[in-house]
């Protein structure tokens, strides 16, 4: 008979099955273990979040959980046995190096020897959390490497572009000027318009089909009719309308898909839900280009273990040749500012990265101010910063991830020691609302803005490059970051325009890689040829 308290979710199957049926735990097997080290009180933005919320006392909610990292991707029997003795459930998927441990909040609190309370946030949300980071229990140290947070709320970021009306001198870039600025014309003039490619937008906001119809008509482009998955996310429309129109301006024959990402905010299991959303999208639209202009908390709120489900899902999508772009953020490198969730004086705790954008498997996109001539020809670019409005491109040094192999040759002042952490952004594109793309929103002609504009720019350009590569004996780009840094290290042609001016609230642009604009903005025709040369094994120039 199944023990309903201990279960594993088997890949590809919703059947919940016992992992300890038929296992006898003998009293003689119990050995004395060294006591666990005392839990540590979590500081920084996490502490700010709890301090700005009302402590309602020991949690009365039905459920609490945390993610645990595993030493191996085989069945974690010691964890399963330990959880059984504590009255906890374990969910583990075959082949993964992480698992979810869950149960009633008081049971989780007792098992990990930390308090778990309910809190009411500044926006009225009620969630469970522990102010302390638990240690790995001594009984499972041979199996479990680390633990995530006990936190049932993830502050999310929904970009709200500060659209500029068309009384500014430039009046926004037209599709033709946008393609010209990033030297994508040689591809489009050769017939590469995104045909056969799919661009997926993960969104917290909806869209008005009337805006999309108007944009396509006034731009002389084919109709823009997205596929909607999961229903309209919300009544808010600005972000998704901009993303769709910007990508359509670049790749008008690509299939556009909008995935409702709001369910990831429900039920206190955000990162697991993101992974499930990514897996479902990967199955339905394999080989697509993903664009995200939203965020699920800063990297100082959580641990790398919390993000293991998302990274695993990204890796599965990469194996299907998916490329994924995420906006680095619009707070000038201060992604850990609490906004409506907590308030504190500006300080070091504000410095941080968007957690999902900082994943090694995600291509993080920063923002620039773009200068062109009247025909759209590129003249100059600098890091986007608007100090009076506390806006600008975000980036920096990860608190969670080590330096990936493809970034190890880089040197930046903020990470010049032995730590060698993941650096963001990876690349950049136009984000300044005074130099953005002309869009149609709420029956008005406006100019797009933010790194949430830069991400769909890269997504649209990647759709063009994928079509070009396939037509010339290559393959879809898939996991893009290793290729980007290989091109930057020495390619046949200059695939990037180095951005050396401007900065964020934390970092300055500089020759080569920098923490404001990454490797720079794309020189698309040359970048596409670089990718093709790499895929065909041609040596760098």
pLDDT tens, 150-179? 999 999 876 555 555 444 345 789 999 999
pLDDT tens, 22-47? 333 333 333 444 555 667 899 999 99
According to DSSP, the β-strands at 363-372 and 427-430 are: parallel
How confident is the model at residue 347, as a pLDDT?
Answer: 85
Tell me if 202 sits within 8 A of 228, measured CB to CB.
no
pLDDT tens, 450-504? 999 999 999 999 999 999 999 999 999 999 999 999 999 988 789 999 999 999 9
Nearest to 432 by CA among 411, 446, 447, 413: 447
Peptide bond into 211 cis (omega under 30): no
Q: Tokens 């996991």 identify what position?
A: 479
- The Cβ-side half-sphere exposure at 482, using a 13 Å CA radius, reads 9
Of the listed ranges 121-130, 146-155, 327-336, 414-423, the least confidently predicted one is: 414-423
Q: What average pLDDT score do residues 139-156 get?
A: 95
Q: What average pLDDT score do residues 9-34 get?
A: 35
Query: Which two structure tokens, joined as six digits, stand for 231?
Result: 């229903």
Segment (H or E) for 255: strand 255-260
How confident is the model at residue 238, as a pLDDT?
Answer: 86
Task: Report d(CA 523, CA 530) in Å as an integer.
Answer: 11
Tell me if 65 sits within 8 A of 58, measured CB to CB.
no
Task: Report d(CA 481, CA 427) in Å as an integer.
Answer: 9
Query: Which two structure tokens, joined as six digits, stand for 90?
Result: 């374990």
For Cα atoms 9, 13, 19, give the angle at the middle one, nearest 5 degrees: 35
Neighbouring residues of 53: CB distance < 8 A, sequence distance ≥ 6: 119, 120, 121, 122, 342
pLDDT tens, 55-73? 999 999 999 999 999 999 9
According to DSSP, the β-strands at 98-103 and 64-70 are: antiparallel
Query: For the whole model, what pTM was predicted?
Result: 0.91
Task: Report d(CA 218, CA 229) in Å as an integer.
Answer: 27
Q: What is the number of other CB atoms lying within 10 angstroms of the CB of residue 253?
A: 17
3-state secondary structure of 399: strand
Q: What is the number of other CB atoms lying within 10 angstroms of the CB of residue 216?
A: 19
Neighbouring residues of 63: CB distance < 8 A, sequence distance ≥ 6: 102, 103, 104, 105, 268
pLDDT > 90: percent of the chain: 78
How confident is the model at residue 236, as a pLDDT?
Answer: 77
């Amino acid at each position: 008979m199944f023990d309903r308290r201990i279960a594993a979710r088997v890949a590809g199957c919703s059947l919940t099955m016992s992992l300890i049926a038929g296992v006898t735990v003998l009293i003689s097997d119990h050995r004395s273990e060294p006591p666990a080290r005392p839990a540590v009180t979590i500081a920084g933005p996490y502490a700010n979040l709890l301090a700005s919320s009302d402590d309602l006392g020991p949690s009365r909610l039905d459920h609490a959980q945390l993610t645990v990292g595993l030493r191996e991707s085989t069945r974690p029997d010691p964890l399963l046995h330990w959880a059984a003795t504590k009255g906890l459930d374990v969910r583990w998927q075959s082949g993964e190096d992480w698992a979810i441990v869950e149960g009633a909040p008081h049971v989780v609190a007792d098992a990990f020897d930390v308090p778990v309370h309910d809190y009411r946030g500044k926006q009225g949300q009620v969630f469970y959390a522990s102010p302390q980071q638990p240690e790995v229990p001594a009984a499972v140290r041979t199996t479990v490497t680390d633990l995530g947070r006990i936190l049932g709320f993830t502050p999310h970021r929904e970009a709200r572009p500060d659209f500029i009306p068309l009384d500014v001198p430039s009046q926004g870039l037209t599709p033709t000027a946008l393609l010209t600025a990033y030297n994508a014309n040689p591809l489009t003039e050769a017939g590469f318009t995104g045909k056969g490619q799919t661009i997926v937008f993960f969104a917290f906001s909806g869209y008005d089909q009337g805006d999309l119809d108007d944009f396509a008509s006034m731009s002389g482009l084919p109709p823009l009719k997205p596929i909607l998955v999961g229903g309209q996310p919300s009544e808010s429309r600005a972000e998704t309308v901009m993303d769709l129109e910007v990508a359509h301006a670049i790749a008008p024959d690509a299939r556009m898909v909008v995935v409702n990402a709001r369910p990831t905010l429900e039920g206190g299991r955000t990162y697991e839900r993101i992974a499930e959303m990514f897996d479902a999208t990967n199955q339905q639209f394999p080989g697509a280009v993903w664009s995200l202009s939203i965020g699920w908390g800063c990297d100082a709120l959580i641990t790398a273990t919390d993000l293991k489900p998302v990274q695993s899902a990204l890796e599965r999508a990469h194996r299907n040749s998916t490329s994924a772009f995420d906006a680095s953020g619009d707070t000038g490198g201060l992604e850990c500012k609490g906004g409506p969730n907590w308030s504190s004086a500006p300080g070091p705790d504000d410095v941080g990265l968007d957690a999902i954008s900082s994943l090694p498997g995600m291509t993080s996109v920063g923002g620039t101010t773009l200068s062109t001539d009247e025909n759209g020809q590129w003249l100059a670019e600098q890091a986007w910063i608007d100090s009076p409005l506390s806006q600008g491109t975000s980036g920096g040094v990860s608190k969670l991830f080590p330096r990936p192999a493809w970034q190890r040759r880089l040197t930046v002042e903020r990470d010049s020691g032995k730590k060698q952490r993941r650096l963001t952004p990876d690349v950049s594109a136009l984000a300044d609302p005074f130099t953005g793309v002309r869009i149609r929103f709420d029956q008005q002609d406006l100019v797009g803005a933010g790194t949430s504009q830069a991400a769909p720019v890269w997504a649209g350009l990647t759709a063009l490059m994928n079509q070009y590569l396939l037509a010339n004996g290559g393959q879809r780009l898939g996991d893009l970051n290793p290729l980007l840094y290989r091109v930057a290290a020495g390619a046949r042609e200059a695939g990037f325009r180095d951005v050396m001016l401007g900065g964020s609230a934390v970092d300055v642009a500089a020759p080569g890689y920098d923490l404001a604009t990454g490797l720079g903005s794309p020189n698309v025709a040359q970048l596409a040829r670089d990718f093709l040369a790499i895929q065909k094994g041609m040596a760098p120039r």
